[in-house]
Amino acid sequence: MEGVIFGNKIIDAVFIAWFLAQSWKVIDFYIKEKKINLKKFIETGGMPSSHSSTVVSLMVAVAKVDPNGVKSINFAICFVLALVVMYDAAGVRHAAGKQANVINKIIKDIKEQRGIKIIEENLKELLGHTPVEVFFGATLGAITSIIVFM
């Protein structure tokens, strides 16, 4: 099982899934805003979820490589990891992003009403993902590993 990029086909599949998800964000931003923003390549949040893409790619790759497939302990570990990561992306980090939005509005109101400067810059609001972004990231990861292991 020799990979082309890292010498390990599983890691290659995971890297390609991550790379495709992050590249998609750059292209999507360009289509919507007509500007190139390479920061999108390393930012969290947005469509599709590269976290989901990465862990699902790992899960599918392990299922393809392990002789016991989806019945293996390795697959079970990857499956649980994928569930935790995707739940975190769509739940905890998404909620934290919403909280950051509210805090930014409160700070803006305080600044405008009282002229008090609390923080230098706004908190990052795009931390997590919607369930749709997680779903598309997971789908991208699965398809990537299936293609890599053809």
Inter-axis angle of helices 50-65 and 73-87, nearest 10: 170
Tokens of 72: 């293996």
Task: Give the pLDDT of the chain (150 residues) as one tens digit per residue.
Answer: 777 888 899 999 999 999 999 999 899 889 888 888 787 788 777 789 999 999 999 999 999 999 999 999 999 999 999 999 998 887 776 667 677 777 777 777 777 777 666 666 765 655 567 888 899 999 999 999 999 999
Q: Tell me the whole-structure pTM to 2 decimals.
A: 0.76
Tokens of 100: 């950051």
Sequence-distant (≥ 6) Cβ neighbours of residue 149 within 8 angstroms: 9, 13, 61, 64, 65
